[in-house]
A and B are shown apart, each in its own frame.
Chain A
Amino acid sequence: MKKTIIFGAMAVAGMAAVSASAATLDDVKAKGELACGVNTGVVGFAAPDASGKWVGFDVDVCRAVAAAVLGDSNAVKYVPLTSKNRFTALASGEIDMLARNTTWTFSRDVDLKFTFVGVNYYDGQAFMVPKALGVTSAKELDGATVCIQTGTTTELNLADFFRSNGMSYEPVPLDTNAENQKNYLAGACDVYTTDASALASSRATFENPDDHVILPEIVSKEPLGPLVRHGDNQWGDIVRWTLNALIAAEELGVTSANLAEMSNGTNSPEINRLLGTEGSLGEMLGLSADWAKNALAVSGNYGEIFETHIGESTAIGLARGLNAQWINGGLIYSPPFR
């Protein structure tokens, strides 16, 4: 009897569904909100705060895109996704873009038919050991017991690293980061390995963070970035250039503090083109002229977003490192706005 509630709602949902269309931009505008896939919870990158609002480094990419497309950074429907269902959610159209610390790899780009629009964080796998062990390099870890998360690329990278250096190790595989932290602290393993950013955030929560060191070796490349489906190049361009706008703004010195002033026009033609006072870049994307200004108004440029969520002023305390602008010796680089 009571199954009506389900069928009724199902029918209504079916009615309300918008007709299929290749243009994601039109869909997003029609819905009035951007469906953005995020992590179910990774420190600094995506997490709900006490009031239920999503915050984080990846979340700000979603908000910037929503602001660029819809003019409202809050018009985002966050879809928390696990590493298992993130790709199907994107492929099936449940979400419009995925910003869920996803590593850009060949097979994901080519075989799964996604378009990675850029890299917003260059991560890599590292090792953490107790200082008391006196280890200073990962090359000295022969025979160590290692806490790892199962089912991730971490496990494979670890095997590769130890094999190529002719060392042996004993893995202690566990399912979640939280369990690994507990195990490592309880002394169940000598070494804890995962992405450097996650290690830094874990260490920051330890009772005595100074008793632990993160070894300098980075044993894998994990370029994390937002991605969209193959086949809608206009939408891919919008997400790509929104990310580029955040990056270029830092390089050009556009910050949330001087954004209003600069959007009245400056002496720099590139800033003017970026902020829409010169040229017609917004129009070429199918957006309003002030799209990049809206995106920057959300939480500032790339550097500001980095500092707010994961930078050295936060408890996580990540240095810019590879994620510094190219002019400062990092890899963060935006093609010109021309």
Chain B
Amino acid sequence: MSDLSYVRTEMLDEKDPPGGEAGIVTWIHKNLFPSIGSGILTVISIFLVYQLLAGILPWMFKSSWTASSLNECREAIHLAYGEGTEGACWSVINERYKQLLFGFYPSELYWRPILAFFLLFVAIAPVLFNKVPRKVLYFSAIYPFLAFWMVWGGSIWVPISAMLGLVVGYYASVILPAVIGSLGAIVAAMILPIVWWILLAGPVAGMLQGIVPISIESVGSDKLGGFTLSVLIGVVGIALSLPIGILLALGRQSPLFVVKIICVGFIEFIRGVPLITLLFVASTLLNYFMPPGTSFDLVLRVMIMVTLFASAYMAEVIRGGLAAIPKGQYEAADALGLDFWKATRLIIMPQALKISIPNIVSNFIGLFKDTTLVSIIGLLDPLGLTNAIRANQEWNGVVWELYAFVALLFFIVCFSMSRYSMYLERKLKTGH
């Protein structure tokens, strides 16, 4: 019997798709002109985009980078591109970008905020990416104190003795439950560090500094400004508002009446007033409550207010996450015999936070952009500085260039945050 079957021994090459299915013409047809209506819209859009770019691009590129005043800029542009040409005067950015970035920070010490900024990424790396060794978390714990020391300078014993307050609180929560019961221990663990910070931290730091003087040049808050100030306020607000927000959200659901009332009252009060009101309170009203002569740093006051504001919003975002978790999860946790804190930490919070990620990050981005409001109370953040720079006769009248630069700075940070949150959502996606 002869072998009649035919078996192909080699694969056929892939064929090109039929002419109507591929190629640039098809792509254009499918995406831009699938119907007459869409086609008209496409043409209009292309026209508008062209108009926009035709207006902006020549302005951006027919520019001057090296002039020393607006009038010189104009002359240079007229000389290079012909009389009557309007171009961007990027010279102002060239001359002032350091000021826009660092404010009034002494230029020989720029490395300190830069270093603190890069260490920030080291500190948050274990939080952001789970491939980083867990031991880096110890660094994350001391980072806030380190960053404070790097930016403000002064004696190293000030942040160290502030850190000791946490140690006091920790030991109070470990040792005291056996002595005065768990509720008393929680209260004591909250109160003792505050007592330490208010009464003892200062003298102890002074004493240690007397024994072992280690200090770097201190830089006052009046030297802070520009993007450094925005980042400082933003990072403090972001770092503190999440834990405080979680506590407030849990407190709001608490069966303990007093705790619940305090949390609800705080959240509703803060959400009921605009941020700018709180900033005015920080900048003007608080002065009247302080004993005369007390100099309570304005930047610190603003940081506290921004943090309180962000915490209240964060609490509501997280409450939304908590509300989305099925009751069965709580019951399952109870069935496993977990106490409240363990159930919250191991079962409830991971799920609630995952649900809330987009909103949390939106809040962070909103908070970071809100830091520009401090220019209204006289702090020279990038927006405040644009006004101060225009107050030099050389740059009076420069508007778009400065705003464009500030917008670019904010866009970089906010866009990165938004991309990171999308990465995080994909990473944590455990649903079906």
Contact = CB atoms under 8 A, between A and B. Distances in A.
Contacts of B252: none
Contact of A41 (B158, B205, B387): B387
Given A5-B236, A52-B104, A201 B393 contact: yes
A82 B378 contact: yes
Interface residues of B, number: 77
A6 B243 CA distance: 15
Contacts of B74: 207
B198 A85 contact: no
B388 A14 contact: no
B249 to A, nearest CB: 17
A269 to B, nearest CB: 40
A9 B202 contact: no
A202 interface: yes
Contacts of A135: none
Contact of A4 (B144, B387, B397): B144
Given A6-B303, A8-B197, A9-B148, A15 B391 contact: no
Interface string A11-51: 11111111111000001000000000001111111111111
Contacts of A85: 280, 283-284, 377-378
Interface residues of A, number: 63
B380 interface: yes
A43 B396 contact: yes
Contacts of B161: 8
A182 interface: yes
B318 interface: no
Contacts of B240: 2-3, 6
B388 A40 contact: yes
Interface stretch (A89-97, A114-122, A152-160, A260-268): A89-97
A94 B95 contact: no
A88 B197 contact: no
Contacts of B394: 315
B166 A4 contact: yes
Interface in A60-115: 77-82, 84-85, 88-89, 91-94
Interface of B: 70-71, 74, 95-96, 99, 103-104, 107, 141, 144-145, 147-148, 152, 158-159, 161-163, 165-166, 193-194, 197-199, 201-203, 205-206, 220, 222, 236, 239-240, 243-244, 280, 283-285, 287-288, 290-298, 300, 303-304, 307, 375-380, 384-385, 387-394, 396-397, 399
Given A3-B240, A84-B377, A201-B396, 20 more contacts: A1-B141, A2-B236, A2-B240, A4-B162, A5-B147, A8-B159, A8-B197, A17-B291, A17-B293, A17-B294, A40-B378, A41-B389, A46-B391, A48-B385, A52-B99, A77-B222, A80-B384, A84-B280, A88-B287, A89-B287
Interface of A: 1-21, 27, 39-52, 77-82, 84-85, 88-89, 91-94, 176, 178, 181-182, 201-202, 204-207, 314-316
